[in-house]
Amino acid sequence: MLFHLVKKDFILAKKYLLFMLIFAVVGPIFIYSRLGFSNGSFTSFLITSLFVEYILFNMVSMQEDKYRGSALLCTTPHTRNGVIKAKYLFVLVIFIGCFLLFNLAAAIGSSTGLARLNIYSIGIALLIISVFFGILIPIQTKFGYEKTKYIFFILIFLTPFILPTIIEWYQSMNFNISFHLPLPQTVMVWMPFVISIFIILISMIISIKIFSKKNL
């Protein structure tokens, strides 16, 4: 059932899908060429992934809001829980797609210095995206697409300008923030993934509770 709902989301976003696939490859190379500091590969991947995820997710939300898709879905055998779970699965599938296409971009743009990311960096990127959508989805579920679109659009629009500046400033200040937990290094590397899953689950539970009480 979830597979069909996620497939439905990709069909709704198909008008922009090809452009986003191209952007997921070209975007990291272009952004990296504009950055002049170390860790540029991570920053270019994060910005590209956030853009692709938000635009595709937003397109689906806009279509569903326009045609009252959520209300119509609830008249089918699909449950309200399933509708919400499919939104999170849709975001996760796009992230995996962005990661795979970034590896292609890294192979194409290796001469520019763009490099593949290690497991920890991928986990940090997933963690940041989980926080963003972990906030966006419950708020959008509660207040609807129309009332929330401008707030998150501005945040995403400002990301390419603000994020590189913050990272460059952080690196120039030589901060050394590290946490030494009594855990093996292998576990520490995967810790961002664990925290991401925890955030997604909490956010999903909140969204399901909101949606279950919503008058469609």
Q: So where are the chain's domains? A: 1-117+144-171
Both structure tokens of 141 = 């579920």
Each residue's pLDDT tens digit, 155-184: 777 777 777 777 777 767 666 655 566 677
Report the candidate in 69, 58, 65, 73 with the shortest Cα–Cα distance to residue 15: 58
Each residue's pLDDT tens digit, 34-80: 876 667 899 899 999 999 999 999 989 888 887 777 777 777 777 88
Rounded distance, CA 109 to CA 86, Å? 34
The alpha carbons of the chain give a radius of gyration, in whole angstroms, of: 18
Rounded distance, CA 82 to CA 95, Å? 20
Check if the beta carbon of residue 79 is closer than 8 Å to that of residue 33.
Answer: no
Based on the number of CB atoms within 10 Å of its own CB, is 100 exposed (0-12), middle (13-18) or buried (19 or more)? Answer: exposed
Single-letter amino acid, residue 54? Y
pTM of the entire predicted model = 0.87
What's the pLDDT band for 208 if we cut at 50, 70, 90? very high
pLDDT for the residue 152: 79
Q: Is the pLDDT of residue 103 over 90?
A: yes
